[in-house]
């Protein structure tokens, strides 16, 4: 990895830039804009996590998405009030309360995902299809094996 091989450095730089911009541009804020008062960059991870993992208890979901149990509870309160999420008693465990998306909740997640996909599509518009496919493949591999791959989520 001498001067002749700056690949790692290049990627690190681009990665830093990516992470910086995605927060600076408030990506999450924009993606969730206009989807109702309750859904914003803070509450969306709860919705998204439930969409991914299915009905879960607050504690489980917290472990899943890296938040404190109580924080999940508070955010779920807001989402429940907005009708995007509902609480059901766990049939298998009387103390547990399952958080589950309502149809509206699923719709919000779908809309947000579509927005992101559209944005990606737009920025890939001028790319040769082969490059785009290659990028998708390599990015996927990097994310799976990458410096963050200590968890499943």
Cβ 77 vs Cβ 99: under 8 Å: no
Burial degree of 94 (CB within 10 A; 0-12, 13-18, 19+): exposed
For DNA, the binding residues in 73-102 under the rule CB under 7 A are 73-75, 77, 87, 93-97
Nearest to 39 by CA among 121, 114, 143, 109: 109
Quick one: 40 or 86, whose CB is closer to a copy of itself?
40
**Residue 45 CA, distance from chain mean position:** 6
Minimum distance from residue 61 beta carbon to a copy of itself (Å): 12
Close Cβ partners of 75 (under 8 Å, ≥ 6 residues apart):
42, 43, 46
Contact flag: residue 121 with a copy of itself (CB under 8 A): yes
The contact pattern for a copy of itself, residues 64-83, with x = CB under 8 A and - = no contact, is -xx-----------------
Contact flag: residue 148 with a copy of itself (CB under 8 A): yes
Tokens read off for 72: 């999940």
For DNA, the binding residues in 36-75 under the rule CB under 7 A are 42, 57-60, 67-71, 73-75
- Whole-angstrom CA distances from 110 to 47, 48, 127, 133 are 10, 9, 26, 23
Quick one: 88 or 137, whose CB is closer to a copy of itself?
137
> Which residues contact DNA by CB under 7 A?
42, 57-60, 67-71, 73-75, 77, 87, 93-97
> Which residues contact a copy of itself by CB under 8 A?
1, 7-12, 14-27, 45, 48, 65-66, 113, 116-124, 126-127, 129, 131-136, 138-143, 145-151, 153
């Amino acid at each position: 990895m001498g001067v002749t091989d700056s690949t790692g450095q290049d990627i690190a730089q681009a990665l830093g830039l990516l992470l910086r911009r995605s927060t600076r541009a408030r990506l999450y804020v924009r993606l969730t804009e206009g989807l109702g008062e309750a859904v914003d960059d803070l509450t969306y991870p709860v919705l998204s996590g439930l969409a991914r993992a299915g009905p879960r208890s607050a504690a489980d979901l917290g472990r899943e998405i890296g938040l404190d149990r109580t924080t999940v509870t508070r955010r779920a309160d807001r989402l429940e009030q907005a009708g995007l999420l509902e609480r059901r008693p766990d049939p298998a465990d009387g103390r547990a309360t399952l958080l589950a998306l309502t149809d509206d909740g699923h719709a919000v997640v779908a809309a947000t995902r579509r927005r992101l996909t559209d944005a990606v599509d737009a920025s890939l518009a001028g790319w040769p299809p082969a490059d785009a496919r290659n990028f998708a493949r390599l990015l996927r591999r990097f994310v799976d094996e990458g410096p963050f791959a200590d968890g499943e989520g």
